[in-house]
Structure 1
Amino acid sequence: MGLDQPTYTDIQVEAYLRRLAYKPAATEGTGLVEHARQRVQSDALGTLTELQRHHLAAIPWGNSGLHYSQHHTISLHPDSLYEKIVERRLDGYCMESTGIFFIVLRSLGYCVYATGGRVSHAAATGVDNGLWLAFGHMVLIVIIDEARYMVDVGFGNNCATAPLLLQEGATATCIAPSEMRLIKDTLVEVTDKSQKVWIYQTRNNPESPWIPNICFSEVEFLPQDFDVMNFSVSKKPTSWFVQTFVCVRMILDPTGKEIIGQCIMSGGEVKQRIGGQTEILQVLQTEEDRVKALAKYFDMHLRTGEVEGIRGLSSQIK
């Protein structure tokens, strides 16, 4: 393991792939990890797309560690991420979910690095005023055959569902009928108007306006940068993540080839959104309802001490 270049062992990567239910047809006598590495060599982009899709469907995006725990903290240490997300099969918010994906991709042989992103006011508050929050998001840049792709598995219900080539205006399906794209533009708040950054946008359908979600540059961020960002996001009293509990999991079609919707727990409801249509699956009246719903819809099984950790918090269902 190089300095600040963590990787997982083959045993750990295999456990992660099984957590994803990632089971490509393997060559006889070839282990799952070895086969995955062979696929990376023969079809790096296709394999990356499959891994991203399965990760989004298997690993919920959420912030349970800040609400259902005795410590109310988030660790980005590779061992902590592995224990929480793979062994405990719990959720993770952006720097956790994308953080473990980052280490797995490096372990499989990808050329990948992380950069920091800002979330727009439009995504955070629903008001598109052109303004942006402080750095608080992790984005991966994966380099394949000298082309660079944005990869993200940690942005909840508006998360990119496939790698996006760093190319202006290229539009792709996010979750049909919604679309996603990257543009390059100058932020209204900066002094030097020659500075441009990548902006990840989504729209509900081809007739809807584009909404900015995340902006980022191609500058590599280091682990200590994310430590500072993580501390702010998880400890600042005004942070939305501290005040509100949320959990989101993408839904794959029966073939496992396409993300067709999402299951969302927010406030006092569990909702399913498929094809642009939203259905309320369950109304949560009590904390017991929510804990059982986490097990039912997200395969998250909390321990007694974790359940008791939410007592007294603003996010508790009373």
Structure 2
Amino acid sequence: MGSTDPPTSLTQVALDKADWPLFTKAQLLEYFERIDLPQSHLESIVLQDGLQAGTVEYGLPLLQAIVRHHSSRVTFDNLVLHYSAHKTVTLDPVALFERIVRQKRGGRCMEQNSFLAAVLRSIGYEVRSGGGRVSRAMSPYPEVRQHQSTTYDGWNHMLNLVRIGSEWHVVDVGMGSMGPNMVIPLRDGFETTSIAPRLIRLQLRPIAESYASAPAAGGEGRPGPPLLWCYDCCYRPSESSPADNVWTPVYCFTEAEFLPQDYEMMSWFTSTNPRSFFTRYVTCTKMLLDESEEHVVGNLTLFVDTIRKQVGATRSVEAECKTEEARVKALADVFGIVLTEDEVQGLPDDRKLQT
């Protein structure tokens, strides 16, 4: 039973920059080793002079490499909500450093992007954290996808915005296989290939769920529905007629800055509510790089009992875990996550795979 005594302090951003949770150079080197950052990037001038972090010439290439290597080495997973005795999530950067770097574990969007924000600020990047709503077209529940695919969840996603030159850029390593997993400029109409042939885009537009009506033609004084940044994917782009491309909404977000206390509430709901995807299903994803390690080309994903691989547009079933022992072994062999005996024993009986 938790204490009912009133708290002596509440979560907040430290008002003095000197008190921000930043990592030392030695800790950053540990992190770079964890994500196998190539030597060429370890020699970046940015790591000697943090003022260069905001430059297109030096800061952007290093940021792109960090995002690329982070997404391929740090798994997007919810294992702490299943394989643990406590089933609780921490967003404390110091605790996340221990878990992600030294214990070689992963996490969900708020764990991963909270940690990465602290890393980037420690290097010298200007980072602003924001919040998003995940599209119900991404729902694991077929009925929801069928009937509510044009609507969005509540605020349940975290991403970061990083200033490079005169532009902010979206940096998000917390959306698994459906995330950008690359640095993209916060630019209305921006479109690019992510994991070929998949296209991604950003549009500043209203979403369908708004009580505000569109302004009348030629009318003044009615601003219409609020605009949100919408991140969409096109899985099978048309080579002959781009206008025929079918775009699927992934999430929408706002430029408003979210605070640690916002994520504290968001994380608590998504990690405790029995209707949450994260509390119901075991999942783990890591992205795959090409041989040059310059491009993300696919992913390996465990969902409940099946490991699927996707490279480009090609999908395959890599393994089916028939027993709990097989799933634990797969987490170690495929994803590099070695669970302790206490963690394995912490999985509730109703979530264990049975023969």
User: TM-score normalised to the size of structure 1?
Assistant: 0.93
Q: Equivalent residues in 2 for 1:163-312 (5 A)?
A: 163-192=183-212, 193-207=224-238, 208-312=245-349
| Pairing 1:1-318 to 2, within 5 Å after superposition | 2=16, 5-25=20-40, 34=47, 37=50, 40=53, 42-124=57-139, 125=141, 126-127=145-146, 129-192=149-212, 193-207=224-238, 208-313=245-350, 315-318=351-354
CA pair 157-122 structure 1, distance change in 2 beyond 3 A: same
Residue identity in the other structure for 1:105: L
Aligned to 2:87, the other structure's residue is in SS state coil
Distance 2:51 2:31 in 1: 17
Tell me which structure has the larger Cα radius of gyration: 2
- 1:36 Cα offset (Å): 8.5
- Provide the C-alpha distance between the structure 1 equivalents of 2:335 and 2:52, rounded to a whole number of angstroms: 29
Distance 1:26 1:236, change over 3 A: closer
Q: How far is 1:38 from its partner? A: 8.1
Displacement of 1:39 = 6.8
Secondary structure of 2:39's counterpart equals coil
Query: Aligned partners of 2:45, 2:32: CA distance in 1, in Å?
Result: 8
In the TM superposition, residue 23 of structure 1 has moved relative to its aligned partner by 2.2
Secondary structure of 1:139 counterpart: strand
CA contact (8 A) 1:19 1:58 kept: yes
The structural deviation recorded for 1:32 is 10
Moved more, 246-255 or 273-282: 273-282
Counterparts of 1:26 and 1:157, CA distance in 2: 25
Quote the Cα distance in structure 2 between the aligned partners of 1:187 and 1:26.
Answer: 40
User: Matched residue pairs, number?
Assistant: 315
Deviation digits for residues 53-87 of structure 1 (CA, Å, limit 9, x no counterpart): 00000000000000010101111011221111111
The offset of 1:205, in angstroms, is 2.3
After superposition, the Cα gap between the structure-2 partners of 1:254 and 1:236, relative to the gap in structure 1 and judged at 3 Å, is same
Q: 1:169 to 1:77 in 2, by over 3 A?
A: same
> Is 1:19–1:86's contact at 8 Å kept on the other side of the alignment?
yes
RMSD across aligned positions (CA): 2.0
Separation in structure 1 between the aligned mates of residue 286 and residue 309 of structure 2, nearest angstrom: 10
Distance apart, 1:37 and its partner CA: 4.7
Deviations 1:175-215 (A, max 9, x none): 11111110111122222333100000011121351111111
Q: Which moved more, 1:159-168 or 1:220-229?
A: 159-168
Contact 1:26 1:35 in 2 (8 A): no
1:164 touches 1:181 (CA, 8 Å); kept in 2? no
Change (3 A) 1:302 1:38: farther
